[in-house]
């Protein structure tokens, strides 16, 4: 059976700037092993599978796979899949919202604008503080040694995916950082986290924060643009009373160090909910014959 298939660039104003994603439509009839095999074959950070919604309120149902395992929630697959569903005419926003059904529940996706300028934002699962660390904490020393730290302490947050968040002194320090991969991998394994997300404030730039996300396990790789990591960071900044702007909105630059130039648009709304979003570019349209 042939199924519609697209490859996208997420959090990108133009192809090549963001994080790639594969989307398979008409995924009814594919079992778990087949979905995993397809995700392994695409060799992209994630591949999503679009299914009919299970409830009247849902716009579509989504399963998300990395090359190694199914993922309950991730930001760039959610944003990209919503774009693909809209482009394919499979769903229509209600009051400006789509509702994505996935392993963590029903998540609203806000739709703003049309065409190439359209911006999508997913409301991320609520994040919580698991541990506030310090530079001299024994298990953090190897990761933080020699880093010019910022004002906020390191913190372990869980928001569907678990990340250590570390503020650096300035953007220059962040851009020039050579990650200590062995220490990041050990910390990720020890705390069952994705790894370490570093961030810095950017005075006078078109973006408010610069972010780098270092995945420590199961492989060591720098993420080009992570909606989930940035949503978790937004929740921490809100918790700490340290958001860049009083209205809860700000812009993130991520991915330059790995050859990309993504822009993510974050908002913490009046209820404390975090919305993570950006633009999406469709790069490949075709069919999958598996």
Annotated active-site residue in 46, 167, 171, 273: 46
Contact 169, 198 (CB under 8 A): no
Which residues, 6+ apart, have CB-to-CB distance to 9 below 8 Å? 15, 16, 17, 18, 19, 20, 21, 280, 281, 283
Separation of alpha carbons 15 and 20, rounded Å: 9
**For this structure, is 131 an active site residue?**
no
Query: Is 25 within 8 Å of 7 (Cβ atoms)?
Result: no
Instruction: Assess contact for 28 and 53: CB atoms under 8 A.
Output: no
Mention every residue, 6+ apart, whose C-beta is less than 8 A from residue 33. none
Cα separation, 161 vs 254, in Å, equals 18
Q: Could you give the residue numbers annotated as active site?
A: 46
């Amino acid at each position: 059976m042939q199924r519609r298939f697209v490859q996208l660039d997420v959090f990108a104003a133009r192809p090549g700037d963001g994080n790639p994603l594969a989307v398979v439509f008409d995924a009814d009839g594919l079992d778990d092993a087949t979905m995993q095999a397809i995700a392994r074959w695409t060799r992209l950070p994630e591949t999503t599978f679009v299914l009919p919604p299970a409830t009247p309120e849902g716009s579509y149902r989504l399963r998300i796979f990395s090359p190694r395992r199914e993922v309950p929630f991730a930001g760039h697959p959610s944003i990209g899949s919503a774009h693909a569903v809209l482009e394919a005419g499979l769903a229509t926003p209600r009051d400006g919202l789509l509702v994505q059904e996935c392993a963590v529940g029903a998540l609203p996706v806000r739709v703003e604008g049309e065409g190439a300028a359209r911006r999508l934002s997913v409301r991320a699962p609520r994040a919580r503080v698991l541990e506030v660390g310090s530079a001299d904490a024994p298990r953090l020393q190897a990761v933080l040694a020699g880093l010019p730290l910022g004002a906020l302490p390191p913190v372990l947050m869980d928001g569907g995916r678990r990340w250590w968040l570390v503020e650096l002194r300035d953007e220059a320090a962040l851009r020039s950082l050579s990650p200590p991969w062995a220490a990041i991998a050990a910390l990720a394994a020890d705390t069952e986290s994705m790894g370490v997300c570093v961030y810095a404030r950017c005075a006078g730039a078109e973006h408010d924060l610069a972010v780098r996300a270092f995945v420590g396990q199961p492989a060591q790789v720098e993420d080009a643009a992570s909606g989930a990591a940035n949503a978790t960071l937004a929740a921490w900044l809100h918790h700490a009373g340290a958001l860049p702007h009083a209205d809860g909105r700000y812009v993130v630059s991520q991915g330059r160090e790995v050859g990309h130039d993504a822009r993510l648009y974050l908002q913490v709304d009046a209820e404390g909910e975090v919305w993570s979003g950006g633009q999406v570019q469709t790069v490949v349209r075709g069919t999958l014959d598996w």
